[in-house]
């Protein structure tokens, strides 16, 4: 009996020690205020200098902070619309990878021309330590005609060097304008453009965009079926894409697309689905004909479950922590919620994220996260403060070398005939561009999620397949990354059965 008591006592002591260690780990994260601002909504740093911060204020100013000194880097308030009870304003910026030499940065804002305001993606060019309004050049305007909410708002350069843009579904309820499932609309999407041009055109469309050859589709579209992807980010180590998509009344979700494909062509489900639940289906929504959705890796409810799990009203997407000094937070995705403010983290991956937990600290009126060029993470309060997250190892860092960006690649697929007799073979040709240096690389043909064959590119970068067709079926061709070019997946090619005429 005494032996059992002593053993039980040891178990209790060990459990208390383990609980203490876990608590110390979770509580080791702290907040260091870097300043207070007017309605801050985003923060980032210069690509070559993590201590040169740029804080975005909703009303239109970009404030530079370096070594405790604050200056107004740019003032767009004369062109930015930030109405009361609106989700508009100057919502984020993205500094070009060559910012140190070019001075270029890109801004996402809602303009004053109309009410509701339209979305503008524009370029600024800095000179002599600031970016004058006179350097503002509009790249694209996205109509947002009916409501003052669901603008999206994130700009981020991807690992392959192109500019990604997150747009909301146009607002209202249940995507009443039916934008998210409509490939012809630029709303409810992740868009991708190449802002590096020769000056004749303001931007170009990267060759790997998945809907370039789709009739009626907007060629800027990278992924669709999103409600309000207010904040998304790329894992600075792996290049993986993570999206915090704000839900309606049921679920908030985190979507995930691993590199190098980054989810090109993915349909994340809204308004057919909200998180893992069924969404609002109308005859016009296209949900009835949609068959392939990309599930989130994590979602949570609006009601407090009472067990310490996540809950809230509007997810604020964050970053996968890769900076030094963060201890066991390294490799975890930090996120929060506007209505709760609690900072939480999880381990991203497929098919589902794991290990969701609270980090033991909160930020009132949490509006955004940010990341500097050495991986330190920031939290932004709409009430004014901007905080740096500090781990148990402190917050000093050296800028980390980034892996070389992969070049864009494009895979296409075509058929000799779009209809064949049942149980006959289809003649399908897949091709890849650019071709230089790609000869001999493998290309696979997929039917849904099943790979049905693989062949190597010939000298003109084509391959041919002859799959047997027993019923209507859709095929895709995929070419993997080769370390120089990014992975590419073709659009779907549908082969139908030729029906016999009956007399």
CA 69, CA 18: separation in Å to the nearest integer?
43
Residue 17 lies in a domain: no
**Residues 382 and 467 placed together within one structural domain of the fold:** no
**Residues 227 and 293 placed together within one structural domain of the fold:** yes
**Residues 333 and 416 placed together within one structural domain of the fold:** no
Residue 3 lies in a domain: no
CATH number at residue 482: 2.60.40.10
**Residues 319 and 449 placed together within one structural domain of the fold:** no
Residue 5: pLDDT band with limits 50, 70, 90:
very low
- The first and second tokens of residue 350, run together, are 């497929």
**Residues 168 and 305 placed together within one structural domain of the fold:** yes
Residue 20 lies in a domain: no
Closest of 225, 210, 277 to residue 255, by C-alpha: 225
Residue 14 lies in a domain: no
**Residues 308 and 368 placed together within one structural domain of the fold:** yes
- The first and second tokens of residue 202, run together, are 């303001």
What letter would DSSP give residue 328? Answer: G
Q: What's the rounded mean pLDDT across residues 237-248?
A: 96
**Residues 40 and 128 placed together within one structural domain of the fold:** yes
- Residue 170 in this model has a pLDDT that exceeds 80: yes
Q: Residue 287: what pLDDT?
A: 76
Helix (H) or strand (E) holding 333: strand 333-337
**Angle at the Cα of 109 (from 103 to 112), degrees rounded to 5?**
120
Enter the pTM of the model.
0.76
**Residues 386 and 414 placed together within one structural domain of the fold:** no
Q: What's the rounded mean pLDDT across residues 57-72?
A: 95
Q: Residue 286: what pLDDT?
A: 63
**Residues 365 and 426 placed together within one structural domain of the fold:** no
Residue 56 lies in a domain: yes
> Residue 66 in 3-state DSSP?
strand
- Residue 73 in this model has a pLDDT that exceeds 70: yes
**Residues 249 and 186 placed together within one structural domain of the fold:** yes
Residue 112 lies in a domain: yes
Residue 337 lies in a domain: yes
User: How does the average pLDDT of the chain come out, rounded?
Assistant: 88
CA 317, CA 319: separation in Å to the nearest integer?
7
Burial 133-163 (b: 16+ CB within 10 A, else e): eebbeebbebebeebbbbbbbbbbbbbbbbb
**Residues 226 and 303 placed together within one structural domain of the fold:** yes
> The domain containing residue 418 runs over which residues?
410-497
61 vs 39, 53, 77, 117, 219, CA distance in Å? 10, 13, 6, 18, 31
Residue 467 lies in a domain: yes
- The first and second tokens of residue 101, run together, are 């030499």
75 vs 89, 188, 240, CA distance in Å? 12, 28, 33
Three-state SS across 214-245?
A: CCCCCCCEEEECCCCCCEEEECCCCCCEEEEE
- Residue 501 in this model has a pLDDT that exceeds 80: no
Q: Which residue has the higher pLDDT, 499 or 325?
A: 325
CATH number at residue 173: 2.120.10.30
Q: Which of 356, 390, 424 is the last residue of a domain?
A: 390
Tell me: the pLDDT tens digits for 271-290? 999 999 886 655 555 675 56
**Residues 34 and 138 placed together within one structural domain of the fold:** yes
Domain total for the chain? 2
CA 378, CA 158: separation in Å to the nearest integer?
20
């Amino acid at each position: 009996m005494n032996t059992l008591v002593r053993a039980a006592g040891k178990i209790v002591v060990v459990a208390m020690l383990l609980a203490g260690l876990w608590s110390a780990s979770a509580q080791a994260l702290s907040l260091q205020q870097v300043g207070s601002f007017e309605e801050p909504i985003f923060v980032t740093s210069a690509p070559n200098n993590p201590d040169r911060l740029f804080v975005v204020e909703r009303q239109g100013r970009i404030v530079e902070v370096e070594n405790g000194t604050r200056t107004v880097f740019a003032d767009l308030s004369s062109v930015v619309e930030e109405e009361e009870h609106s989700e508009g304003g100057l919502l984020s910026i993205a500094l070009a990878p060559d910012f140190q030499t070019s001075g270029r940065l890109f801004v996402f804002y809602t303009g004053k021309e109309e009410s509701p305001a339209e979305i503008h993606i524009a370029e600024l060019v800095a000179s002599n330590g600031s970016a004058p309004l006179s350097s503002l050049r509009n790249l694209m305007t996205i109509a947002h005609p009916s409501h003052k909410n669901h603008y999206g708002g994130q700009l981020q350069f991807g690992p392959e060097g192109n500019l990604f843009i997150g747009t909301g579904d146009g607002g209202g309820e249940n995507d009443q304008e039916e934008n998210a499932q409509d490939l012809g609309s630029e709303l409810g999407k992740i868009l991708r453009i190449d802002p590096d041009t020769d000056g004749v055109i303001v931007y170009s469309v990267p060759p790997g965009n998945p809907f370039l050859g789709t009739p009626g589709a907007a060629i800027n579209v990278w992924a669709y079926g999103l409600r309000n992807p207010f904040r998304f980010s790329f894992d600075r180590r792996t290049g993986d894409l993570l999206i915090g998509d704000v839900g309606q009344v049921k679920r908030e979700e985190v979507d995930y697309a691993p590199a190098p494909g980054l989810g090109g062509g993915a349909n994340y489900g809204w308004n057919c689905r909200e998180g893992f639940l069924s969404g609002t289906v109308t005859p016009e929504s296209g949900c009835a004909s949609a068959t392939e959705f990309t599930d989130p890796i994590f979602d949570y409810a609006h009601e407090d479950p009472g067990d310490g799990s996540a809950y809230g009203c509007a997810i604020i997407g964050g970053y996968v922590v890769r900076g030094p000094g963060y201890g066991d937070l390294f490799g975890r995705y930090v996120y929060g919620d506007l209505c709760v403010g609690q900072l939480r983290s999880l381990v991203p991956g497929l098919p589902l994220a794991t290990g969701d937990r609270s980090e033991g600290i909160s930020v009132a009126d949490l509006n955004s996260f940010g990341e500097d060029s050495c991986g330190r993470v920031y939290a932004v309060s709409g009430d004014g403060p901007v905080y740096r997250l500090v781990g148990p190892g402190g917050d000093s860092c050296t800028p980390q070398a980034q892996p070389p960006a992969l070049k864009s690649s494009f895979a296409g697929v075509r058929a000799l005939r779009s209809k064949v007799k049942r149980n006959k073979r289809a003649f399908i040709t897949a091709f890849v561009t650019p071709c230089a240096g790609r000869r001999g690389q493998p290309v696979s043909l997929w039917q849904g999620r099943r790979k049905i064959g693989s062949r190597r590119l010939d000298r003109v970068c084509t391959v041919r397949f002859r799959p047997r067709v027993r019923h209507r079926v859709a095929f895709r061709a995929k070419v993997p990354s080769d370390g120089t070019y990014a992975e590419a997946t073709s659009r779907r090619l549908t082969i139908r059965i030729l029906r016999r005429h009956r007399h």
